[in-house]
Structure formats: C-alpha cells, structure tokens
Amino acid sequence: MGRKPIIFQIVGYQNSGKTTLTAKLIERCTQEGWRVGTIKHHGHGGTPALGDEQKDTFHHRKAGAMVTGVEGAGMLQIHAGKKEWPLEGIIQIYEGFSLDLILIEGYKRESYDKVVLIRSLEDLPLISSAPNIAAIISWVPLPSYAHGTLPLFYIEEEQIYIDWLVERMKESRG
C-alpha cells in the first residue's frame, strides 16, 4: 500500500453545514483525481438506521454475525457491530482502501486538522474546545477575539474557502 491518507475533519453543531461542506470537498477532491473516503459520527444517540430489515444481511446480524457484507455491481456494503468503535479503528479499516483523503464529519474532540463551522454566536465555545483548528467558517460576523489568528471565512465565500482547504490538504500531502 502507498502512503497514508490525509485525514481532515469537518466539525460544528447540528445544521451548521457540515454535510454540505463535506460533499463540496468530496466533489472538488475527486475532480483533482483523489480517492476520498468519509467517516461520519452519528451524534444523535442510538445506532444509525441500517434500512436492510427483511434482507439477508439483517438476518445474519440478528443471528449473531459481528460483520456482514453484501456486494453487487462493484458496490460493497459492510455492516460491523461491536460495543464501541474508536475512530482510530475505523481509520485503520479505511486505510485498506488506498485512499488519498479521509474526511471525518464530527468527532469534535479528535486531534486531526479540522475546519469548524459556526452557525451562531452560541457556537463559539467550540472554537476553544476543539483541537487543531485549521480554519473557521462562520454564518455570522465574529468578534476578533473569537478566532484570534485562525483563518476566518464566511459561509457565502464558498469558492474561497473550498480552494483554501484543498490547497492546505495538498500541502500536507506533499
């Protein structure tokens, strides 16, 4: 396998634009020829919906299988269950796919480089609690003390911050 993938996080509270930004970065990076994978933290409590009830994989899990998979037309879907999935363990699995970039949506407290989305001034504590912030994208004007020397973009400056983020990832790629 080649070099390790770049790992970059997109964090923010609910409805801050994380999924939209993740999709824009996926589109841009795949246009650059990168192989991109994503990991999303299901922060709403409980297990994510699988949507395969009455399918064979559901019956396999119900019977006790820890990992189930189904392949068709080149698409592989894997469901794996255990008590807890540390992010590092998920990343190790993803490294087997020879990716150039892993985008992680969520996991606010993890230490990878990240962009923080701020929807309102009530979200400001996230700036001081999230480590390794590369930039902030805000929906509202921020006081200078809130972002210090961190690069600050506003949500309507999409092309500017997408370009900036991709360039930063390219630099870390070498």
Hey, what CATH class is 6-42+84-173 in? alpha beta
Q: What is the pTM of this model?
A: 0.88
Mean pLDDT over 18-28 rounds to 95
Residue 115 to residue 5: CA distance in whole angstroms: 18
pLDDT for res 46: 55
Percent of the chain with pLDDT over 70: 91
Mean pLDDT over 34-49 rounds to 74
44 pLDDT exceeds 60? no
State both tokens at 27.
Answer: 């589109």
59 pLDDT exceeds 80? no
Residue 156 to residue 9: CA distance in whole angstroms: 20
pLDDT for res 1: 47
Check residues 90 and 81 and name the one with the higher pLDDT: 90
Q: Where are the domains of the chain?
A: 6-42+84-173
